[in-house]
Structure 1
Amino acid sequence: MTVDRILPTPEAYDLIDLATELADRELAGRADDFENRGEFPREVLRTLGRSGLLGLPYPEEYGGAGQPYEVYLQVLEVLASRWVTVAEAISVHTLSCYPVAAYGSEELRKALLPDMLGGELLGAYCLSEPQGGSDAAALTTRAVRDGEDWVVDGTKAWITHAHSADFYNIFCRTGGPGASGISCLLADRGTAGIEPLAAERTMGMRGSPVAQIAFDGVRVPGDRLVGAEGGGFTIAMTALDSGRLGIAACAVGLAQSALDFATSYAKERTQFGKPIIDFQGLGFMLADMATQVSAARALTLAAARLRDAGRPYSIEAAKAKLFATDMAMRVTTDAVQVLGGYGYVADYPVERYMREAKVLQIVEGTNQIQRVVISRALARS
C-alpha cells in the first residue's frame, strides 16, 4: 500500500523516493537471510550512510542533511517497512550521535561528526546495566580521574551494536549518588579494556545482536568528556526523547508492512467461494489495523513537528512511543491471525514481524515507563 504523505519541501519527497528505492534494492530481499543467520548488516548501513540517510536530522555543516525530524522519521518508517532491524539500527545510531552533536565541544564535533553522520563510524549508546534498566539514575559504572584521563570500570547491558560499534557513549558515575553524579564519556572501538560479551539469544531482530559490554580499566582521554561533568543524565534523557520518536517510526513501518502483507493475502485467499477479505470478521479486523497504523503515524509526526518547532515534546514523544509500539504488537499479532496456520510458520514473514514488534515495547524506555512519564505530567498539570 502506498502511504499518502504530506511533506514540507520538494527535497523531502525526493528523500522519501530515495529511501524507498534503497529499501527495495538493499533491504527487502535480504532480511530473512541475515535474520536467520543472526548477522549484522554492517555494509548495508554504510551504503545507507553514503547515500546520506544516516545523518538526516543533523546540521549540514557537520555532514548531516539538515532535515526536520518530521522528514527523518518518515524515511525511517519506509526503511522499517522493508527491514525493521536496519531502521532500528539507524535509530540507535542517530541516538548515539546526539551527545556529541548537541553537547560536544566544537573540536569533537568537527573531528567526529562527519564520519558519524556519513555512516563510516557506527555508534553504541551504553546506558542500561544488568541490574538497572529503567532506573538509569542508579547506574553503577564508574569513572575516576587519573591525571588528564578518566578510567572506567563497570558493565553495560542490552547494548545494540555492542560488537559492531566504532564508538561508545558511556554513561558513568563520576560523582556522588543520583542523577547529578553521572557524566558521559566517548570511547573508541579498540580501546584497551572494552570487551563486548557473548550476544544475547533474542526473540527477534536477530540481525542486530545485543550484548553486555564489560569496561575494565578503560582509559578515556579527558577531552572525550561530552558536555559538563555531572551533566550525563540530562544528556541521556534528552537523547531518549528523540530516540523514542525513532522507535515509534520503526513501529509504524513494521505495522504497515504487516498490514500490507495481511491485506494482500486476504485478497488472494479464497474460502467458501470468495476472498476471505469479503468476510466481515476479517475485513473489519483489517480496517481496525489500518486505522491504528494511521493513528500511530499521526501521533508520531505531531510530536516530531513540536520538536522541529522548538516546542516541548517530551510527553508527546512518550505518548507516541507508547501508542505506536503497542499498536505494532497488536497489528502484527492480528496479521498472524489473518493468515491462520500459515501465519504461524516461518515461510511467511508475519511471524517474524510479531516477534520483532515485541522488543519495540521495551527499548528506549519500556511502555510502563512511558505511562509513568505521561501520568506524572498529568499530575503536574
Structure 2
Amino acid sequence: MASNGATARVGDAESSLEKIKRQLTSSSGRYLLQGPLLKRSEMLRKWNEHWVILDPTSGKMEYKTGRNAAVIKGNIIFDSTSTITLSPVNFHGSPKYDGCCFYIGTPQKNDYFLCAETPGAARAWVSTLHATQLVLEAHKEAVNSLSGSGSSKFGTVTTVIAAANATAREASKEIEAAMKISMRAAVNFVTNKTCEGHLDDLTIMKETIRVKDEELQQLSKDIRARDSTIRDIADKLMETAEAAEAAASAAHSMDEERKLVLAHLEYLKKDLHQRLESSSIKLREFEEKAIVLSKEKELLLKERDSAVQEAHQWRSELAKARERAVILEAAVIRAEEKARVAQADAETRIKEAAEKLQSAAKEKEELLALVKVLQLQIERLHG
C-alpha cells in the first residue's frame, strides 16, 4: 500500500513538472513585434522587402512577401546563444540605409543580413531580439530548475518577460515612426509626381495612403493583441507557480515516503545481521563436521593405499606363478615331443628288426633248401 501511494505521488510530481515545462515553453499564438524589413537573398545577393514577425516564445522570425499575405515564405530561428548586432557597414549600399543594417548569426551557422527603414527601427529590432534572447534563456533555466539541473526562479521569468514587453512597446513606437516616415516619403514622392503626371498618379497616391493607414491600424491592433498576450503570459505564470507548489507538495510527500523506506531498510539490515550471525554459527558447525570427515577420509585413503599395495603384491606373485606354469608347460611339451620322437624311432627300429627277421627267415629257408639239395647230392654220390 505504501509503495502504491509513493508511486502515485511520484506520478503527480512528474505531471506537475511536465505541466510547468509546457507552460514555460508553449507559444502564445501572438507576436511580439512585426514590421517591414529588407532581407538579402543568400543565393542571388538581392535585397527583398518582407513583412517580418517575431515570436518571443520560440525565438523564431517568420517573414512573408507582404503584410496581408497568407503564406509564410520562410523563418529565422535563433536562441540565447545567437549573435545579433547592429552593423557599422551598410550592407545594402544605398546611402538611405546607413546605420539601418543589422546581422543575425544562428546556431545553424546561417547568416542573415537585414535592413530597417530607419536607424531607430534597426536599433528597436536589435534591442527587442536581445530581450527575446533573455526570455528564452530565462525559460530554459526555469525548466532546468524544475528538472533539478538549475537554480532559476519563476520571478526571473516574469521580470525578463516584462522587460521584453517594455522593449517591444518602445520598438513598436520606433517602427511606427519609421513607417510614418516611409509613408510621408511615399506621399511626397507621389505628390511630386502628381504635379507632373496624370490623374492616375493621384489615384495611386490615395491608394498608397489608404494602404499605409490600414497598416497603421493593423499595427495598433497588433499592439493591443500583444498586451493581451502579456496578460495571458502572466496568467500562465500564475498557473506555473501553482503547479510549482503542487510539485513541492509532491516532493514533500516523496520525502516522507523516502523516510519510511529508509526505516524499512534499517529493519531489513538488522534482520540481515541476525541471519548472518545464525549463518556464521551453522557455518562453524559445518566446518567442524568437515574436519571430522576429512580425518575419516585420510584414514580411508591410508587403508585404500595398503589394500592397493597388498593387491599389487598378490599380482606380482600371480605373475610369477603364471611364469612358472608357462615354463612347466613348455617342459611338458618338450618331453612329449621327445616321447613322440623316441616312439617313432622305436617303431622304425622294430620295423627294421622285423624286416631283418624276415630276411633271416628267408635266408634260413634258402639255406635249408640248399642243405636239402646238398644232402640229395650227397646221397646220390653215395648211392
TM-score by length of 1: 0.26
Structure number with greater Rg is 2
